[in-house]
Amino acid sequence: MIAEKELIEALRQKNPAAFKAIVEEWQHIVYNTILSIVQSREDAQELAQDVFVVVYQEGGNFKGESKFSTWLYRIAVNKSLEHLRRQKRKKRFVFVQSLLGNGNEVKQDPPEFVHPGTLLQNKEAAIILAKAVRQLPEKQRIAFTLHKLEGMSQNEIAAVLQISEESVSSLIYRAKNNLKQLLQLYFEK
């Protein structure tokens, strides 16, 4: 594991060997975080690459005021959010096109997402939860996912999202309540 000071220096100098070590050390964490948020392997792969391009390009600006992992998570979360917003815009555009009769029919829901790390006995429940999480507002979705899937503490999430711990606590609380309501509706139908 590379020490933080060495890491900052290596990033500033754009040292290729150090950069390769950083990618190899962090790639699976970045990839899995993005995968949990965007729920698509192909998109997660591409976005994780984008994250490391940003790390390489902006590494010189990293002053070490926060932990490197926090900075990396922040970039990963921002990239994921950008992607989700792009997807929403695309969906809206396709919907308007279908109303005008210009485009194809509105695309169906994305395929069922099963996180590769899910235990077999939890598979069915995890798919239902993934569907419900997709319907949460984006901040609640991020906070809940980081808390549940990444096992991050509220303090760490607060640092990544640059909000207070109370706000994180509130986001997770509201996310759980919303999920309960969504799942209730799901089983009542």
Say if CB 61 and CB 32 are below 8 A apart.
Answer: no
Our separate counts of H helices and E strands in the chain read: 8, 0
Q: Which of 12, 28, 86, 88 binds another protein (CB under 8 A)?
A: 28
The two structure tokens encoding residue 11: 């990033």
**Cα separations (Å) of 122 from 112, 127, 129, 150?**
14, 9, 10, 17
Place of tokens 């919907």: 95
**Residue 119, interface with another protein (CB under 8 A)?**
yes
Q: Which of 13, 122, 153, 162 binds another protein (CB under 8 A)?
A: 122
**Residue 135, interface with another protein (CB under 8 A)?**
yes
Q: What part of residues 150-189 is at the interface with another protein (CB under 8 A)? A: 176, 179-180, 182-187, 189
- Least gap, CB of 124 to another protein (angstroms): 7
According to DSSP, residue 122 is labeled G
According to DSSP, residue 189 is labeled -
Q: Which of 149, 163, 165, 174 binds another protein (CB under 8 A)?
A: 149
Stretch near another protein under the rule CB under 8 A, chosen from 5-13, 92-100, 131-139, 153-161 = 131-139
The two structure tokens encoding residue 21: 């070590």
Q: Which is nearer to another protein, 96 or 123 (CB)?
A: 123
Q: Which is nearer to another protein, 132 or 159 (CB)?
A: 132
* Distance between CA atoms of residues 153 and 147, nearest Å: 6
Tell which residue, 124, 127, 122, 125, has the closest CA to residue 110: 127
Q: Which is nearer to another protein, 97 or 110 (CB)?
A: 110
Stretch near another protein under the rule CB under 8 A, chosen from 85-93, 96-104, 122-130, 155-163 = 122-130
Q: Other CB atoms closer than 10 Å to residue 138's CB: what's the count?
A: 13
Residues that bind another protein (CB under 8 A): 20, 23-24, 27-29, 31-32, 35-36, 41, 44-45, 48-50, 52-53, 56-57, 115-119, 122, 124-126, 128-129, 131-132, 135, 148-149, 176, 179-180, 182-187, 189
